[in-house]
A = this chain, B = another copy of it.
Amino acid sequence: MVIVMKAGATQAQIDHVTDRITELGFGVHLSRGTERTIIGVIGDERTLNPSIFEVMDGVEKTVSILPPYRLASREVQPEPTVVRVNGVKVGNQRIVIIAGPCSVESRTQLLETAHAVKEAGASMLRGGAYKPRTSPYSFQGMGLKGLEILAEARAETGLPVVTEVMAPDKVGLVAEYADVLQIGARNMQNYDLLKAVGRAHKPVLLKRGMMSTIEELLMSAEYILSNGNPDVILCERGIRTFETYTRNTTDINAIPALKQLTHLPVIGDPSHGTGKWMLVDAVARALIAAGADGLMVEVHLHPETAMSDGAQSLKPERFAELVRHVRAVAEAVGRTA
């Protein structure tokens, strides 16, 4: 950490800062510029609260030097993490496509969709049994019955199942049925939930919050990793901006940025990233071209009757086309699909 003093800071103010640094067991490095004195703090700043300096008289601001995450960092672990989900490897040379409906709506719907996406080239099945909905009057998911249907679809198709868990006290139950525990965007900073999946023995797919920075996403991953679970898959799913033509703005920059900052696998969700099925294919290709390790795509047999997210869902035949397009791009960037 570097502490920048105000232009007219007195020696007594500087001493007060350096005394406190020493008291806390850190080293001090003083540098007097032409207009400002700056004070370097020597030691692991991750355990320091910058506020305690920012309120001192004569201090203008503090600047962090180290990234606040450690276990998620490529500096600490240079080689990429490959997460194994039953037979499927995420973070490998081969990209992974997770597909299925937003919500499990019925046994027939899910089984038919599972077969369709498998045939089109998906390697995992998604589907929500517990649904976070903006309105209390919207369909809230089938719950346990939905989990049972997902398990049946896995038994029939062999596709591993990804499904969302929304509360710490449901982690055990969902983990009995799911192969990957999904943390939704709205829960990215639900820390009790992050701790609970950190103690679970299933891989976690952590979606970036629509209001969260890349650094905050990595800090949420750090919660899971530091609670003992090394199998975290990150997912860029669009952020909220001033643009209203699309539901979210897919942060394509985040794909190469995350691949450089962390060893964890990174996938993209072009369905939520755009909110419009007409844009999903193009953005799916872009995500893979930018280096994503996979995709998560919403597919619905009859979007016109979907109980949630129909506008961003692809019909199976369009999804099959997306897979062909994505495979061509994957090969162009030296990967397979």
Interface residue ranges, A against B (CB under 8 Å): 2, 4, 7, 20, 29, 31-36, 38, 40, 42-44, 46-47, 49-56, 63, 65-66, 68, 75, 132-138, 140, 166-170, 186-187, 189-193, 209-216, 219, 222-223, 226-227, 239-246, 249-257, 259-260, 273-274, 276-279, 281-283, 285-291, 303-313, 325, 328-329, 331-333
Contacts and interface: CB of A to CB of B under 8 A. Distances in A.
Contacts of A286: 252, 255, 286-287, 289-290
Contacts of A287: 286
B2 A38 contact: yes
A326 B226 CA distance: 39
Q: Please give me the 7 A-B residue pairs with the lowest Cβ-Cβ distance, nearest first.
A: A211-B211, A51-B310, A289-B289, A256-B282, A332-B332, A286-B286, A51-B311
Contact of A191 (B43, B132, B213, B273): B132
Query: How many monomers of this protein are in the complex?
Result: 4
Nearest to A249: B251
Contact of A33 (B34, B65, B306, B312): B65
22 contacts: A7-B75, A33-B65, A38-B40, A47-B137, A49-B306, A55-B277, A132-B191, A136-B219, A167-B169, A186-B189, A210-B211, A213-B243, A213-B244, A239-B241, A239-B242, A241-B241, A241-B251, A246-B253, A256-B282, A285-B290, A289-B329, A328-B332
A173 B287 CA distance: 42
Nearest to A248: B253
Contacts of A4: 65
A333 B329 CA distance: 7
Contacts of A33: 29, 40, 42-43, 65
B186 A166 contact: no
B239 A249 contact: yes
Contacts of A189: 132, 134, 186
